[in-house]
Structure 1
């Protein structure tokens, strides 16, 4: 059973391949995200500093950013683990691992406070708009841009030919880039049809909403927003 995975072409795709092989399926690595650092660093005078990805944490660590007196917030456990690995204390993780979850957790804490949001160029406005509506002074630093790698789309070809058993989408952008890659190959509709004959697993409600908006039938949205949980739940659905 071929299972497509779209993580960036670094240790994350290698770990995903190992995990999927251990679960008894054939991984189809098809990276849909390529990281282009901007060279920007977060402000160091904020009272709250928010990180939304492991990539962002790695970049600020390389740049020598220090948290100072800021309350450091991570969008989820994966980002929190990366922060700790790079020597940063993690003060807050929302119960729901999402932009909306961060806003809900911080809404009563940030009125009149300086909040730094450090993330990619494709960050959801739900986070910044929600914090501003709560009364925070929000500054956003774009740490990196996310582009689609040249040559992506092997999974789209497999979906179009009916040879894809499942797909694991880890962000709204991976959904959009999958469909763009299929369109570039002249097979968007066929790939979409093949995807809807497969088991589609996604991380989180925002990714699920994006997929459905593009006509993709979503089968698995695990309660815990991390890749291993997503992979296991999707393979379980295949086995079922």
Structure 2
């Protein structure tokens, strides 16, 4: 099988990167792992004073947006109690079930907008707790508020760019990448920050525009395009497997099995 399709991937350096590399490898591509995100827990949980819904005002609905968030809450012995639990996608929901929690809702569209659509008719006048990273989309909070909810947010962890990341920016500038898989707006921004550090921003963007650029969803696409990066692929399903498959197929259809 031809291994000439070099695909950069920017997931955190944990099982998510391992799974991404395995997936790209199974598609016949050569993975270029360059973690652009690292998790820094805040130690906060819903119910902490000043962070979310106060102890005497338990939320009617709790929204969780990532597997990482679920794992941090489970490690802190937190549980949703009697609240309706909504998870943004199947991996988040699976992690919640593994923690022993009942998941009441997973939207058909795995995005902030999809989650708002799924619960908008049941939250008017109710307290909704959103527990997530410090880089969560405003689409979720604004949409919940527009639906009439009293919205509270708890920042469970911060997402930072790991020291030493950015080799993919050098490769893009040198024309050594065939494709990239951007999995969030932050991965786009951190990729560009790494390029700026190396004084290669314009060259890296030009290199991306000669390659196949995949974005996991519309917000990520919009971020990339706002920086002059042409996006070639946005999968129908906002999952890494769908993104990787679509990107490899676009980059080299004859290599995809």
- TM-based fold match above 0.5: yes
Instruction: Write out aligned runs for 1:46-65 (5 A).
Output: 46-65=59-78
Structure 1 residues without counterparts, runs of 5 or longer: none
The aligned runs of 1:20-39 (5 Å cut-off) are 20-39=24-43
Q: Tell me the residue number matched to 2:107.
A: 94
Deviation at 1:85, TM superposition (A): 2.1
* In 1, Cα distance between equivalents of 2:119 and 2:127: 12
CA shift for structure 1 position 78: 1.9
Question: In the alignment, which residue of structure 1 is the partner of 2:157?
Answer: 144
| Equivalent position to 1:121, from 114, 134, 143 | 134
CA distance in structure 1 between the aligned counterparts of 2:100 and 2:233, rounded to whole angstroms: 34
Report whether the alignment pairs 1:107 with 2:111: no
Find the counterpart in structure 2 of residue 13 from structure 1.
Answer: 17
Offset from partner CA, 1:117-176 (integer Å, 9 cap, x none): 000001111111211121111110000001111111111000000010000010000000
Equivalent position of 1:163 in the other structure: 176
- Please give the alpha-carbon distance, in whole angstroms, between the structure 1 residues aligned to 2:189 and 2:203: 15
Give the secondary-structure state (helix, strand or coil) at the position aligned to 1:108.
helix
2:7 equivalent among 3, 9, 13:
3
| CA RMSD, 1 decimal | 1.0
Cα distance in 1 for residues equivalent to 2:206 and 2:11: 22
CA deviation vs aligned residue, 1:78-123 (integer Å, no higher than 9, x gap): 2112212222221111122111111122221101111000000011
Q: CA deviation at 1:2?
A: 1.2
Using the size of structure 1 for normalisation, the TM-score is 0.97
Residue pairs, 1:52-91, within 5 angstroms: 52-91=65-104
Rounded Cα–Cα distance in structure 1 between residues aligned with 2:101 and 2:244: 28
Conserved 8 A contact 1:196-1:217: yes
Contact conserved, 1:78 with 1:226, CA < 8 A, in 2? no
TM-score between the two structures when normalised by the length of structure 2? 0.91
| Structure showing greater Rg | 2
State the SS of the aligned residue for 1:117. strand
